[in-house]
């Protein structure tokens, strides 16, 4: 029941923002459209990946950025953050697997198929991470050079050849993670990034965050801006932060990355929907 209540809370707030019922005063359309994560509906069929407790309780730091082959994406005005995050994790896994064909996944292809799942293919409505992951599992993904990221073509169906190639490049194993800091850190400790969505508050758009990448816990006067999906690629116990890969270009934050406090990512009304792709 608690999970359902938490999910309902996120849906109610994010839907209000998406439906323009409570967009903060002064919010520009270009800012509003760069979000796009919609929380998953509860599904008890999800496969949960769990890890044993670590033998040592000493502080640790793991950073997968040096192993990340992909350039930082720029999603622009589309609400395609889930597709951008999934593409990053997909390419990371390709790089890990010996003998696997490596390519930059087509984010527009993923975003199109996410919205096919949700019945919103003609609208820039964002998507849930579950539907995005199911899309790369069932349909697969083609290289971005076959279906480039042209924002004006978000509602166009990709060519048949893209689907033919995608069928040979699927995410064959993926799991949901519990919202537990130990579980999330253990996933990264094993060498795999994880995806998640979070509620963006207005303080996240402060110039200091854009310059340094360090975000804060909710501040007095913060307003909800929308839901955003990112890819977590590390953690630092000394600073108590999760290292996250964003999709706003390499000129934002710390060369495209930002640092989310442990308390933020652990709060069920601020973050949710944790997934890891384990095999492509």
Q: What is the pLDDT of residues 56-100, one digit of tens each?
A: 777 899 999 999 888 999 999 999 999 999 999 999 999 887 777
pLDDT tens column, 140-155:
999 999 999 999 999 9
Residue-wise pLDDT tens digits, 209-247: 999 999 999 999 999 999 999 999 999 999 999 999 999
Query: Which residues, in sequence order, are bridge partners of residue 245?
Result: 231, 257
Please tell me the distance from the alpha carbon of residue 230 to that of residue 81, in angstroms, as a whole number: 7
Q: Is 140 exposed, middle or buried (0-12, 13-18, 19+ CB in 10 A)?
A: buried
* Distance in angstroms (rounded) separating the CA atoms of residues 14 and 197: 11
Name which residue leads in pLDDT, 207 or 29.
207
Nearest to 166 by CA among 139, 199, 128, 202: 139
Sequence-distant (≥ 6) Cβ neighbours of residue 4 within 8 angstroms: 42
Question: Is 22 in contact with 16 (CB distance < 8 Å)?
Answer: yes
SS3 186: helix
Q: φ and ψ at 174, to 5 degrees? A: -150, 150
23 — pLDDT class (breaks 50, 70, 90)? very low
Domain holding 27, by residue range, is: 2-279
Mean pLDDT (the chain) is 89
Q: Say what percent of the chain tops pLDDT 70.
A: 87
Per-residue confidence (pLDDT) for residue 14, from 0 to 100: 52
Hey, what are 279's tokens? Answer: 């095999």
**What is the C-alpha separation between 246 and 72, in angstroms, rounded?**
7
Average pLDDT over residues 187-203: 97
CATH of the domain at 63: 3.90.70.10
Number of domains in the chain: 1
């Amino acid at each position: 029941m608690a999970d359902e209540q938490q999910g309902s809370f996120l849906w109610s707030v994010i839907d209000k923002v998406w439906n323009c019922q409570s967009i903060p005063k002064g919010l520009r359309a270009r800012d509003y459209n760069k979000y796009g994560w919609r929380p998953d509906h509860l599904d008890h069929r999800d496969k949960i990946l769990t890890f044993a407790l670590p033998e040592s309780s000493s502080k640790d730091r793991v950073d997968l950025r040096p192993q990340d082959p992909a350039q930082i994406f720029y999603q622009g005005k589309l609400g395609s953050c889930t597709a951008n995050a999934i593409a990053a994790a997909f390419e990371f896994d390709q790089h890990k697997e010996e003998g696997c064909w490596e390519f930059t996944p087509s984010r527009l292809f993923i975003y199109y198929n996410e919205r096919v799942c949700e019945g919103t293919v003609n609208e820039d409505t964002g998507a849930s991470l579950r539907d995005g992951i199911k899309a790369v599992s069932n349909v697969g993904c083609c290289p971005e050079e076959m279906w480039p990221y042209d924002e004006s073509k978000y509602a166009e169906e990709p060519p048949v050849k893209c689907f033919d190639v995608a069928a040979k490049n699927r995410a064959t194993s993926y799991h949901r993670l519990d919202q537990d800091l130990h579980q999330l850190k253990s996933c990264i400790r094993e060498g795999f990034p994880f995806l998640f969505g979070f509620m963006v508050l207005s303080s996240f758009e402060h110039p200091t965050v854009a310059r340094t990448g360090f975000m804060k816990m909710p501040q007095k006067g913060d307003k909800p801006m929308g839901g955003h999906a990112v890819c977590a690629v590390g953690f630092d116990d000394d600073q108590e932060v999760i290292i996250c890969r964003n999709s706003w270009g390499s000129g934002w934050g710390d060369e495209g990355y930002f640092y989310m406090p442990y308390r933020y990512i652990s709060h069920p009304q601020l973050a949710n929907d944790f997934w890891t792709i384990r095999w492509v």
